[in-house]
Chains A and B, each alone.
Chain A
Amino acid sequence: MLAGQIAFYVLAAAAIGSGIGVIAFRNAVYSALSLIVNLFCLALFFLMLNAIFLATVQVLVYAGAIMVLFLFVVTMLSPENDESLPTPDRLGLWQRGAAVGLGIILAGAIGYIVVGQAALHPDAVATGAQDLASQISRNGNTEAFGQALFHGFLFPFEVTSVILVAAIVGAVVLGRRTSSREGE
C-alpha cells in the first residue's frame, strides 16, 4: 500500500505545517485559517482510516461550524488592534509556566500512547466498539455509528443534550454581557 503511505506522509506534513502556522502567524485571522486547514487534514486522516462518517462530521462541525465562530470571535476582538489583549511578548510569567506544564502533559500522553500501545477501554469493547470496527470497512458506516450511539452509548448521548443546553445558556449570558458592554 505504497500510495496510502505517500498520502499519509503528505497529509501529515500538511497537518504539521498548518499546525505550526496556527501559532506562528501574528495575524489572528491567518492563524484561524491555518487551523481550518489543520482540521481538514484531520478529516482526511479519518477518511484514510475508512471512518467516512467521522470524517464528514469533522468537516461539518469543526471546519464548518466551530471555525466560523472562531472567525467571528477573532474579527470581533481583532487582537492586533487591541492593546489590552495579551500578545506573545506581553505574556505573564504564570502563562508561560502554564504553557510549559500543559506541554509536558501533552508530550507525556503522546509518549504513553506510542510506547504503551494503549488499547480500547474495556467499556467500549463491551458495548460494541469491536463490532463497530468490524463493520467499518462496509460502505457507509453511518448505521454502525448509529448502533453504537443509540444502543451502547445511549446515556452519554442524552447527557450530551443537557451539556448542549448548558452551552446555549452560557452563550446567551456571555453574549448579552459583552454586547451590553459594547453598547456603552
Chain B
Amino acid sequence: MVNIGFQIVHFVITILFFIFLVATNAVIMVYLERKVMALMQDRVGPKHYGPFGSLQSTYDVLKLLLKEIVRSRETDNAIFMLAPMIFFAPVLTAFVMLPFSPFMTTSALGTGILLYVALSSLDVIGVFMAGWGSNSKYSLIGGLRSTAQMISYELPLLLSLVGVVMLTSFVSHNGIGSISFTDIINAQMHPWWLWFVLLQPLGLIIYYTCGLAETNRAPFDLPEAESELVAGYLTEYSGMQWAMFFLGEYGNMLIVSSVATALFLGGWSGPGADLAFWHAHVTANPGGIFSVADLIFNVIAVFWFLVKVYALQGIFIWVRTTLPRLRADQLMQYAWLILIPMTLLNILVTAVLLLAVPQPYTLWVTGGVNFLLLIGYIILLTRAIGASPKGTLPPWVEARKRAARTGLGAPGLPKPPAASLPPGEPEPAASR
C-alpha cells in the first residue's frame, strides 16, 4: 500500500507544513510576545492594525522586505552574506526528525536527539560567522560571547536528555532504548500516560534552561544585551538579512519547545489522540492517511502537540518579563558549575534507581527521588544566585565599606581603621 507516489506526496505535505509552521510561528510569536509582555507590564502593546493589533507583525514583515540592505564597507562580504544561511539552515533541517503526529514526520531517523544537538552546534558557526564577518567591534564581542555561551550550554542540554534515553531503555520490552523522537513518544504511551516529565522533572527544567540559553533568550540574552553591545552579532545586519536571524531564532524556540514536548510531555498524546482508542478505525500503518478516521486522529494529534508547544513558548515570554539578565561570568559559571554537575548527578541517580529498585516500584521511586532532586536543585540555585535580601545593607553603608576596603576613602567621610571592619565580610553579589 505504501508506494513511492504516496511517499512523495507525504513528504511534500510534511515539508510544506514545517515551512508554514516556521514562518507563521515567528509572526505569531512576535505579536504574542509584544502583547503578553505589554499586559504583564501594564501597557497596551500593539493596537492599531487589525483587531487587537494582531496584524502588526505581518506589517512588520512587509516593512522589512522593503528595507534597504545596508552593508558596512569593512565587512567580509562572503562570510557576511553566508552567515544568515548557515544560521537558518540547521533550524529548518532540525524539523526533519520531529514528529508532530504519526503522519506529520518526514523520516524517523534513528538518531533524533543527537542529530538535534549536532544541528544546534552548527548554529554556533553561523553566529560566529556573523560576528566575525561584520568586522565591527560590537559584532565581534557579541559573536564571541554568543559562541562561548552556546557551546557551554550545549553540554548540559545533551546530558539532561540522557536520563530520558535511559527511561526508554527501561520501559522497552527488550531492554533496547531509542533516541529517535517517534520511539520516545511511543514509549511514553506504554501504560497510557507515562509522560517522562513525571519521572524526570529535573531533566525538563535543566533542558528548558539550556534551551533558553541556546536560543539567546532572556535571561541569557547577553549577546544581544542592548545596553552593552547594541545588538551583538546582529549589529551590522539590516532588513531581511537581519530578519533571517530573527526567523532562525524563533524557529529555534519552536524546536526547543517541540523537543521538550516530544521527550518530556508525551508528544502528541492527549485526550482523543490515543492510538489504542482509534485502533479499530486506523489502518495498520499509523503513519499514513487512508481513511477519515486516520485524518481525524492525525488532526487531534497535531492539535495536542501544538497546544503543548505553545504553552512552553508562553513560558519563554513569561521568563523574559520576569527575570533580569545574568552577568557574563555568572552565565558561564552557571553552566559549568551548576548545570553540568547537576545533570551528571541526575544520570547517576536515575541509573542506580532504575537498576536497583525492584520491579513494581521502580518508576514510582525514580520519579519521587527525581522530584526531591529538583527541590534540591532549586535550593542550590537560590543559594548560588544569592538573591536573598537577608544580610544586605543599605547602599551607602556598602559604599563606605567598599571605600574602606580599597583604601580610597569616600568623599566627606573619615577613613575608618581597617581593623574595625567585620572579619570575613561576604563579597557583594557573590557569584557562587
Contacts and interface: CB of A to CB of B under 8 A. Distances in A.
Interface of A: 29-30, 33, 36, 52-53, 55-57, 59-60, 63-65, 67-68, 71-72, 75, 138-143
B180 A53 contact: no
Interface residues of B, number: 27
Given A29-B79, A60-B118, A63-B122, 4 more contacts: A56-B114, A57-B118, A140-B110, A142-B111
Nearest to A145: B111
B147 interface: yes
A64 B121 contact: yes
Q: From DSSP, what is the main secondary structure of chain A's interface residues?
A: helix
Contacts of B78: 30
Interface in B58-112: 78-79, 108-111
Nearest to A36: B125
Contacts of A30: 78-79
A57 B179 CA distance: 13
Contacts of A55: 111
Nearest to A50: B110
Contacts of B159: none
Contacts of B115: 56, 59
Contacts of A142: 110-111, 114, 178-179
Contacts, number: 74
Given A57-B114, A64-B118, A52 B125 contact: no
A63 B117 CA distance: 12
Interface of B: 78-79, 108-111, 114-115, 117-119, 121-122, 124-125, 128-129, 132, 147, 151, 154, 176-180, 183
A67 B125 contact: yes
The B interface is mostly helix, strand or loop, or mixed, namely: helix
- Report the 8 A-B pairs with minimum CB-CB distance, sorted nearest first: A140-B110, A64-B121, A60-B118, A59-B118, A56-B114, A56-B111, A143-B176, A56-B115
Contacts of B122: 59, 63-64
Given A29-B79, A68-B128, A63 B111 contact: no
Contacts of A68: 121, 124-125, 128, 147, 151
A118 B178 CA distance: 33
11 contacts: A30-B79, A33-B129, A53-B110, A64-B118, A68-B147, A75-B132, A138-B110, A140-B110, A142-B114, A142-B178, A142-B179
